[in-house]
Amino acid sequence: MADVVAEKSKPRSAGFSTAVRDFFARYGWGYAFVLPSMITFTIFIFIPVIWSFLISFQEYSLSTGGEWVGINNYIEAFTTQSGVFVRALQNTLYYTVITVTSNIFIALILSSLIQPLNTYAKTFFRAAYYLPAVTSAVIIAMTWRWLYNAQWGLFNYLLSLAGLPAVRWLSDPDVALNSITLSTVLTIPATGVVLFSAAMGSIPKEYYEAAEIDGAGPIRKWWNITLPLIKSTTLYLVVLYTIASFEVFEKIIIMVPSGVGNSTQTIVTQIYQTGFQQFRYGVAAAQAFILFVIVAAVAVVQFRLMRSDVEY
C-alpha cells in the first residue's frame, strides 16, 4: 500500500522526462542522421518558399522592404504587360501537351522494342538511351541551336540539298516555338525508356504464356497485358514529364534569348524576366505560385484519371 501511495506521489514531470529520455535513447541516432538534411531543407527550401509566399502579397524592394498590397500582384500578373503572362501560359500548355504525349509514346515504343532482346542487348540500349539524361541541358540546347542556325545549320543545309528555301527556325515568330518543341520531341526520353523497360521486365511471364495459349498475338498481348500492368509507371512518368515541361527554361534561354516577340515566352522565362530584369519581386513571386497551383491541379487530375491498384 505504501508503494502505491509513493508511486502516486511522484510528480508527473518525472514520468514525462523518463518517456522523453527513453524516446531519444531508442530513436535518437535516427533523428541525428536525419537532422543535417532537415536543417538544409529548412534553410534553403522551406524558409525561402514561405518568404516568397509572403512577398507575393507585397510590393517588395530590396532597399525599402515590402508594402502589403494583398492580391493585387496576382491580378497584375494577368493584366499588365499586354497579357504577356497569359501568352506565356498558353505557350507552356502547348509545349507541355505535345512534349509529354510524345515522350510517353516514344518511350513506350522503344522499351517495347528492346524488351524481347537478350540481357546484354537490353543493357546496351538502356545505357545508350540514358546518355541524354546525363548530358547538360545547356549543351543539348546549344547543339540544337547550331542545327537550327539559319545560315549554316544542318537542317537548312539538308533543305538546300532538296532545293527547298531556308527556314528561320529560331527567328520566325510563327516557327520558333514549334522548333523548340520539336527539339524536345526528337530528344530520346531517357528516363522513360529505362523505367518502362524495368517495369515491363518485372511482369510475370506466365501472363504472356496464358495469352499465347488463348491465341493472342504480340500486339494483343502488349495492349491487354503490358499497358495495364505498367499503368503506375506511366502515371509517374506523365507527372514527371509534365512538371519538367511546365518548368522549361534553360532550353528557351539558350536557343532563343530574345524571345522572338514573346512567341517563345513560357511561365518560367516570364517569372525570370519579371523578377530579375524588371525587379518586380512581388509580381514574380505571385506568378511562381500561380505556376505551383497549375502544376498541382494538373497532377491531381492525372492521379485521378490514371491511378491503378494493379499488383503482380
pLDDT in tens, 80-120: 666 788 899 999 999 999 999 999 999 999 999 998 888 88
Domains in the chain: how many in total?
A: 2
Question: Which of 219, 273, 268 is CA-nearest to residue 248?
Answer: 268
Do 233 and 201 contact (CB within 8 A), yes or no?
A: no
Q: Which stretches of the chain are assigned E, i.e. beta strand?
A: 58-61, 65-68
61-73 mean pLDDT: 82
pLDDT above 90 (res 7): no
Q: With respect to residue 274, please indicate whether it lies within any of the assigned structural domains.
A: yes
Do 214 and 180 contact (CB within 8 A), yes or no?
A: no
Give me the CATH number covering residue 254.
1.10.3720.10
Residues 8 and 133 in one domain: no
Q: Which residue did the predictor score with more confidence, 287 or 11?
A: 287
- Per-residue confidence (pLDDT) for residue 20, from 0 to 100: 72
Residues 39 and 89 in one domain: no
- Per-residue confidence (pLDDT) for residue 14, from 0 to 100: 61
pLDDT tens digits, 200-246: 988 888 988 898 888 888 889 899 899 999 999 999 999 999 999 99
> Alpha helix locations (H) across 247-280?
250-255, 267-276
Cell 533543305: give the residue. Answer: 159
Q: With respect to residue 272, please indicate whether it lies within any of the assigned structural domains.
A: yes
Residues 193 and 264 in one domain: yes
Q: With respect to residue 68, please indicate whether it lies within any of the assigned structural domains.
A: no
Residues 294 and 150 in one domain: yes
Could you tell me the CA-to-CA distances from 197 to 200, 206, 227 in Å, in that order? Answer: 5, 18, 12
Residues 2 and 118 in one domain: no
Is residue 2 very low, low, confident or very high in pLDDT (cuts 50, 70, 90)?
A: very low
Cα(141)–Cα(143) distance, integer angstroms: 5
Question: Which of 276, 268, 286 is CA-nearest to residue 58?
Answer: 286
Q: With respect to residue 66, please indicate whether it lies within any of the assigned structural domains.
A: no
- Per-residue confidence (pLDDT) for residue 96, from 0 to 100: 95
Q: With respect to residue 53, please indicate whether it lies within any of the assigned structural domains.
A: no
- Per-residue confidence (pLDDT) for residue 6, from 0 to 100: 47
C-alpha radius of gyration, the chain, whole number? 27
Residues 246 and 107 in one domain: yes
147-168 mean pLDDT: 91
Cα(51)–Cα(42) distance, integer angstroms: 12
- Number of alpha carbons in the 13 Å side-chain half-sphere of residue 87: 16
Q: With respect to residue 54, please indicate whether it lies within any of the assigned structural domains.
A: no
Residues 121 and 14 in one domain: no
Residues 94 and 208 in one domain: yes
Residues 212 and 302 in one domain: yes
| Domain coverage including residue 38 | 1-44
Q: With respect to residue 61, please indicate whether it lies within any of the assigned structural domains.
A: no
pLDDT above 50 (res 43): yes
C-alpha cell at 197: 523497360
- Per-residue confidence (pLDDT) for residue 26, from 0 to 100: 81
Cα(278)–Cα(117) distance, integer angstroms: 55
50-64 mean pLDDT: 87
- Number of alpha carbons in the 13 Å side-chain half-sphere of residue 94: 17
The 10 Å Cβ neighbour count of residue 66 is 14
**pLDDT mean across residues, the chain:** 87
pLDDT above 50 (res 265): yes
Residues 34 and 85 in one domain: no
Residues 105 and 22 in one domain: no
Is residue 136 very low, low, confident or very high in pLDDT (cuts 50, 70, 90)?
A: confident
Cα(171)–Cα(188) distance, integer angstroms: 25
Residues 8 and 95 in one domain: no
Q: Which residues, at least 6 apart from 106, have a Cβ–Cβ distance to it below 8 Å?
A: 185, 188, 189, 192
pLDDT above 80 (res 23): no
Q: Please state the separation of Cα 27 from the chain's center in Å.
A: 35
Q: With respect to residue 51, please indicate whether it lies within any of the assigned structural domains.
A: no
C-alpha cell at 165: 528555301
Question: Which of 261, 224, 266, 259 is CA-nearest to residue 99?
Answer: 266
- Per-residue confidence (pLDDT) for residue 309, from 0 to 100: 64
Q: With helix as H, strand as E and coil as C, how does 178-198 read?
A: HHHHHHHHCCCCHHHHHHHHH
Do 102 and 311 contact (CB within 8 A), yes or no?
A: no
> ∠169-174-177 over CA atoms, to 5°?
65
